[in-house]
Amino acid sequence: MSRLRSRPARGVEDVSDELLDDADLLARHVGGDHEAFGQLVARHRDRLWAVALRTLGNPDDAADALQDALLSAYRGASSFRGNSAVTTWLHRIVVNACLDLVRRRSVRPTQPLPEEPAAPAADVLGDRETALAVTAALRTLPIEQSAAVVLVDLEGFSVDEASQILGVPTGTVKSRCARARARLAERLWDLDPRTERDPGNDAPSPRVQANESTSTGPEEQA
């Protein structure tokens, strides 16, 4: 029996909204509460937006993907079976919407970055210049690699959680992250204060390496 259906229905007067957990709010939405889904989205929208923006690199595309994802979640809430956290379920829908958007276009968008693309409201990467450089570098990655490294390295999900969100084995997540880190290290070496240049050579000293401390499992072409 699903987690949603195993929870008894409770009236709005029974418990404060602040005390309701995510599954309670989703259950209320399924039960006909017209405000519950909005309250659930309000809790997680900033993080969902950050994942969409960093995965796609374009604010307009991220907005489209997030809108599609939230509509899918709104309509498909009754399919949630409680096998994972509600936040994992929501992130899976958002990431899938991002992947679908790119795949519908067959190729990753090739238009140049705007001069001043919007940055996330809460920029965990530091100053704006660094954030823009990372966003631009992420756009050069294959979408599957971008999604994996955004979830694990930027949003702080564990490999197991990212595996659930992406619907792939943990070894595939590790492999995608390792490849993404290697490519990002090549493009962002000058942002690392430990990087040294050889004055007679434009290439960076090989001190910035992909941060991969775990085995990547079977090799994956991405």
Which pLDDT value is given to residue 129?
A: 75
Q: Which domain holds residue 176?
A: 17-191
Segments of the chain with pLDDT less than 50? 1-13, 108-125, 195, 197, 199-222
* Number of domains present in the structure of the chain: 1
Distance CA 48, CA 41 (A): 9
Residue at 11 is within a domain: no
80: CATH = 1.20.140.160
Both tokens of 134, joined, read: 């990372």
Distance CA 112, CA 51 (A): 21
Residue at 86 is within a domain: yes
Q: Of 87, 5, 96, 8, which Cα lies nearest the Cα of 40?
A: 87
The model's pLDDT over 102-143, given as tens digits with 9 standing for 90+, comes to 988 755 444 444 434 444 444 444 556 777 788 888 889 999
Which pLDDT value is given to residue 17?
A: 56
Distance CA 55, CA 69 (A): 14
Residue at 198 is within a domain: no
Residue at 142 is within a domain: yes
Which pLDDT value is given to residue 67?
A: 96
206 Cβ contact list (under 8 Å, min separation 6): none
Q: Which residue has the tokens 């995608």?
A: 176
Residue at 163 is within a domain: yes
Which pLDDT value is given to residue 28?
A: 95
Residue at 208 is within a domain: no
Which pLDDT value is given to residue 212?
A: 40
